[in-house]
Structure 1
Amino acid sequence: MESSVCLSLLTLLLLTPRGLSKGYYDPYNNYYYDYDDGEEDPPTFQARSQTFTVEVGQSVIIPCDVDNAGLNKLIIKKIPPHGGREKLLSVGTERVTKDRRISIEGARLTISHARPKDAGVFICAFEMEPPVELKHTLDVQFAPTIKAEAPPEQHVPKGTTVTLACKAHGNPEPIIRWSRQEGPLPSGLRSEEGHSLTLEGVDRHVEGTYLCTADNGIGESASAAMTITVEYPPEISTEKAVVRTGEGDTVELVCVVHGRPAPDVIWTRDGHPLPDTLMDTKLHLPDSRAHESHGHHVSLLHIAHRHTLTIKNVTEKDFGAYVCIAENSHGQKDAVIQMTGLPKPPLVTSSPNGGESTSYTLTWETESYYPITEFLIKYRKAHMSTWQQSNRTMVMAGSWENVSQAVRPVGARRGTRHSMAHTLRQLEVATDYLAVIRVRNKCGWSSESQHFAFSTKKAMAVLQSTSGGAQTQVLALSWMALVMALGMVV
């Protein structure tokens, strides 16, 4: 009996395809009971986890293709890139999110016209025990934006330290570069990288508009501008500190003035305010009332930083010291321009090495509106003698000799420039001298020229002799040069 039951059960197992059904056979009642234990093979995703990178405006497909889904419903949800609350996007083939840019086709989620906010982790999941999940990462790249973290315009005192800063946003992380609209940065470079730019000890030379520009290779770069204005006391320079002129001439006295706020500028002569320099400093134009009292003899013009005082039909009464005075809320500064008819100090033009043994010809030039009527030359030997005391060697300079006389200009006169010359005689052979020159015109004497060093001839001519058809050249030093070489102790 038992053997027949076992045989029947074995026959049933052989005839039943494996996996086709599950159950057991009751040999006592000769009946097979089929049953289902509730266990199924879990769904399997066809793809691996991936990272998708797109630029703003492009479309992207998030694949959740699956095998053996059965009656289980696929759920797609999203986690923001920096963490946060999960957001359900779809259940099965039904879109749950209200975002119309998202569509579901089968087991795939499509995002059209991607935006930065679409970035994050997308989870394809079946709610089972244990859960079955597939994660994809979406990276949305976008062009940079930038924002200045300093005021768009700053007025700062001279000497302070100013830091400019910008903050950029973009994907990938943008690089920030600094530049200056007016030219190179104070460092001398055309551009520098960094989130901030520090300017130490600012002055007017660093004024301008600074740009911070963000770039990450996506789309167009973005820039923000900040303007630096430096406030400082007046700074003055003159185009000529001394202006030489004469009767009937027209001259311009020029002061270049910088300052912030823009300084008010007035002129004085010999300590007295000039009555003819009324000025509308706001419009930077001469006032129509400014020149009526003296028939346009003195007038003032202000263009940008250049202040020009013009004097027409100059007379000797106009000679003197003119002062331009600039003042603003940070201080006051002045500069002096001397207007004179005196000659300019002479400039020696002759060679320092003389060609004569006992004489030397000085040549010089000077500038004078009026003819030169006289000159004065002072000269002396550079070293006269030596003497010893207490084992010390002392060198004594020679005393000054004066030559003064009325002269005629030598050479052609070119405008106010005069060329002159004079020969000094009875000088010592091969000797070093110093000379200074002054010249005079109808207005008076010039200042002295710079000390000029010269010397008389230090070598004799070449002696030539012919003997037996052969020519021999002998170079001999003058006897005075030889004496100095052997006997002088410096």
Structure 2
Amino acid sequence: MGMAFCLRPLTIMIITSQGLSKSYHENPWGYEYRDYYYDQESNVDPPTFLARPQTFTVEVGQSVIIPCDVDNAGGSLKMIIKKVPANGGSEKLVSVGSDKVMPDPRMTVDGKRLTISHIRPRDAGTFICQFDLEPPVQLRHTLHVQYAPSVRAMVPLQQHVAKGKSVTLECKAHGNPEPIIRWSRQEGPLSSGKHSHHGHRLTLERVDRHMEGTYLCTADNGIGEPASAAMSLTVEYPPEIITQQPIVRTGEGDRVELVCVVHSRPPADVVWTHKGRPLPDTLMDTQLHLPQQQQQQQQPSSRTHTTYDAHLSQTHVAHRHTLTIHRVTERDFGKYVCIAENAHGQKKAVIQMTGLPKRPQLLSNPVGMENTRYTLTWETESYLPITEFFIKYRKSHLGAWHRNRTMLMAGTWQNVSRVVMNSGSAAPEGRRHFMVYTLEGLQAATFYVAIVSVRNKYGWSAESDRFSFSTRRVTTVLPSTSGARRQATASAFTLLLLPLFLLVPL
């Protein structure tokens, strides 16, 4: 049979020579002040406390002395020290006279003083030095205990939020003094652009993937080290695609990489199409990795498929999806589409692979330095050498009525076509080609517009943007006065006409 124990209460009765009778009730949790009565003797002066009420503020781990110095404490009247906890609760008896009642080894009573060492937060409260007279003689001291903060999250530590929604992060801190709470983000500034936010809550509006990360709620009150709680935010969103090059220029025999950078949450499934047909998702030449017996059993269609797999390969590293084309052929040219899809949606991006030259870009100075000649300079990009170029040019269309109610119309297009010599040589480094041609037989002080296109083995490029230029104005010096007047008149007319050229749209 088991044994049962019963803790019996113990009552201590103290009777002083002045007739004071008090009782203290002992229980497993300490002593509680029960009741008292007092029969005061005549012709006895009551004791007087020498200290004044004080407030003590100490940090955790330090020590404090609670003074209860008294005057006129003769006789057998004993001083009582009691404590009222700061967080509420019943009054606790600490000591009676020099006898300590509260069983706490950190507390010692020496004469009329109470010493508490290795202070803890639960030691905070009001300490009462008291003589039980009628009326009671009391001295009250307040003890504040300062301690480092602690903090805890009030929301789940991992938050999953759909793009465009709002989320609120919250934490709660404890400490004395009251901690200040500051929010920060490990990956960088907050969505507001600031590096911190103060308060118990942090609300993020219309979240996107750039707001993902670990958010820290840090509490600090100047005592000890700050405390932090970490909360992770994950934003779910449909795919977002960036192409490394929207147009890739190449040639037969080359090795080309088409790259799509895909961001999505959850991760998206990515497929490629060429001319509207899906491409096989393979990372290797499967035929080379099959046992010989299986290779012999494969159907011709299967072998053809394997050969095509060897020609193309797909790789995926982090957000980068790459379609590699080995030994490009002319049939590989065309439109490639990178398609990414997850539970929140689908996104497409187009990459055009071509062997045609890039649209030429004119580099000449629009103001010519010769009267009847003008040199056009342009650049283009082509994997293969340029074999031919084509220039068309004409006088500019003024587009305005003159005072004699006639309109100066644009001239007809003049065409220049030239075959580029030594076109069989390899393309320059970087595949950039610089070309020059001089137009002859132009009119002085005249505005023109020109368009250039170039050709390589695969065909013609797109036409360049319209390029406006002018030839040099003719200046004639005449010796006579009348000639000078005629020249001045002609010059004035030219100055009046010149703004019309400048303002006329092409």
Taking structure 1 as the reference length, the TM-score comes to 0.82
Per-residue deviation, 1:368: 0.9
1:309 corresponds to 2:323: yes
Per-residue deviation, 1:392: 10
Which of 372, 378, 381 pairs up with 2:395? 381
In the alignment, is the contact (CA less than 8 A) between 1:233 and 1:328 conserved in 2? yes
Q: Deviations over 1:58-109 (max 9, x none)?
A: 1111110111123321111111224442222111111121222222111111
Residues 253 and 121 from structure 1, CA distance in 2 versus in 1: closer, same or farther, beyond 3 angstroms? same
Which of 201, 218, 221 pairs up with 1:216? 221
Q: Distance in 1 between matches of 2:355 and 2:398?
A: 39
Give 1:416's aligned residue. Answer: 431
AA partner of residue 390 (structure 2): L
Residues 214 and 315 from structure 1, CA distance in 2 versus in 1: closer, same or farther, beyond 3 angstroms? same
Secondary structure of 2:493's counterpart equals helix
Per-residue deviation, 1:307: 0.6
Alignment of 1:121-160 (within 5 A): 121-160=126-165
In the alignment, is the contact (CA less than 8 A) between 2:285 and 2:310 conserved in 1? no
Q: Deviations over 1:397-437 (max 9, x none)?
A: 55543333323479993342211111122222222322221
1:245 corresponds to 2:259: no
Q: Deviations over 1:349-408 (max 9, x none)?
A: 22122111122110111111122122222333334363269x999885555433333234
Secondary structure of 2:400's counterpart equals strand
1:92 corresponds to 2:97: yes
Secondary structure of 2:310's counterpart equals coil
1:43 corresponds to 2:47: yes
AA partner of residue 414 (structure 2): E
Q: Distance in 1 between matches of 2:73 and 2:468?
A: 110
Give 2:346's aligned residue. Answer: 332
Q: Distance in 1 between matches of 2:389 and 2:375?
A: 14
Residues 258 and 392 from structure 1, CA distance in 2 versus in 1: closer, same or farther, beyond 3 angstroms? farther
Q: Distance in 2 between matches of 1:446 and 1:139?
A: 84
Residues 262 and 99 from structure 1, CA distance in 2 versus in 1: closer, same or farther, beyond 3 angstroms? same
Secondary structure of 1:182's counterpart equals coil
AA partner of residue 435 (structure 1): A
1:75 corresponds to 2:89: no
5+ long unaligned stretches in structure 2: 1-39, 290-305
5+ long unaligned stretches in structure 1: 1-35, 279-285, 466-473
Q: Distance in 2 between matches of 1:290 and 1:66?
A: 102
1:433 corresponds to 2:443: no
Give 1:172's aligned residue. Answer: 177
1:404 corresponds to 2:417: yes
In the alignment, is the contact (CA less than 8 A) between 2:284 and 2:310 conserved in 1? no
Per-residue deviation, 1:187: 2.1
Identity of aligned residues (%): 63
Q: Distance in 1 between matches of 2:277 and 2:488?
A: 64
Q: Deviations over 1:279-315 (max 9, x none)?
A: xxxxxxx467498712732111111000111111111
1:195 corresponds to 2:210: no
Which of 455, 460, 472 pairs up with 1:445? 460
Give 1:182's aligned residue. Answer: 187
Q: Deviations over 1:467-489 (max 9, x none)?
A: xxxxxxx9x99997643323565
AA partner of residue 496 (structure 2): L
Residues 313 and 163 from structure 1, CA distance in 2 versus in 1: closer, same or farther, beyond 3 angstroms? same
The structure whose Rg is larger is: 1
In the alignment, is the contact (CA less than 8 A) between 1:247 and 1:313 conserved in 2? yes
In the alignment, is the contact (CA less than 8 A) between 2:478 and 2:487 conserved in 1? no
Secondary structure of 1:296's counterpart equals helix
AA partner of residue 446 (structure 2): T
**Once structures 1 and 2 are overlaid, which stretch shifts more, 418-427 or 315-324?**
418-427
Secondary structure of 1:426's counterpart equals coil
1:66 corresponds to 2:70: yes
Per-residue deviation, 1:332: 0.8
**Once structures 1 and 2 are overlaid, which stretch shifts more, 170-179 or 302-311?**
170-179
Secondary structure of 1:387's counterpart equals coil
Q: Distance in 1 between matches of 2:491 and 2:331?
A: 55
Residues 41 and 183 from structure 1, CA distance in 2 versus in 1: closer, same or farther, beyond 3 angstroms? same
Secondary structure of 2:51's counterpart equals coil
**Once structures 1 and 2 are overlaid, which stretch shifts more, 377-386 or 338-347?**
377-386
Secondary structure of 2:401's counterpart equals strand
Residues 420 and 487 from structure 1, CA distance in 2 versus in 1: closer, same or farther, beyond 3 angstroms? closer
AA partner of residue 403 (structure 1): V
Q: Distance in 2 between matches of 1:160 and 1:232?
A: 11
Residues 395 and 207 from structure 1, CA distance in 2 versus in 1: closer, same or farther, beyond 3 angstroms? farther
AA partner of residue 229 (structure 1): T
Give 1:230's aligned residue. Answer: 235
In the alignment, is the contact (CA less than 8 A) between 2:49 and 2:71 conserved in 1? yes
In the alignment, is the contact (CA less than 8 A) between 1:240 and 1:337 conserved in 2? yes
In the alignment, is the contact (CA less than 8 A) between 1:368 and 1:418 conserved in 2? yes
Give 1:106's aligned residue. Answer: 111
AA partner of residue 304 (structure 1): A
Give 2:494's aligned residue. Answer: 484
Residues 385 and 239 from structure 1, CA distance in 2 versus in 1: closer, same or farther, beyond 3 angstroms? closer
Secondary structure of 1:386's counterpart equals coil
**Once structures 1 and 2 are overlaid, which stretch shifts more, 291-300 or 216-225?**
291-300
Alignment of 1:344-359 (within 5 A): 344-359=358-373
In the alignment, is the contact (CA less than 8 A) between 1:458 and 1:478 conserved in 2? no
Residues 186 and 487 from structure 1, CA distance in 2 versus in 1: closer, same or farther, beyond 3 angstroms? closer
Q: Deviations over 1:243-296 (max 9, x none)?
A: 000011111100000100100111110001112x23xxxxxxx46749871273
**Once structures 1 and 2 are overlaid, which stretch shifts more, 343-352 or 399-408?**
399-408
In the alignment, is the contact (CA less than 8 A) between 1:291 and 1:298 conserved in 2? no
In the alignment, is the contact (CA less than 8 A) between 1:458 and 1:477 conserved in 2? no
AA partner of residue 447 (structure 1): A
Q: Which has the higher helix share?
A: 2
Q: Distance in 2 between matches of 1:167 and 1:437?
A: 70
AA partner of residue 57 (structure 2): T
How many residue pairs are counted as aligned between the two chains? Answer: 436
Q: Deviations over 1:91-139 (max 9, x none)?
A: 1111121222222111111111111111111111111122211111111
Taking structure 2 as the reference length, the TM-score comes to 0.80
Secondary structure of 2:187's counterpart equals coil
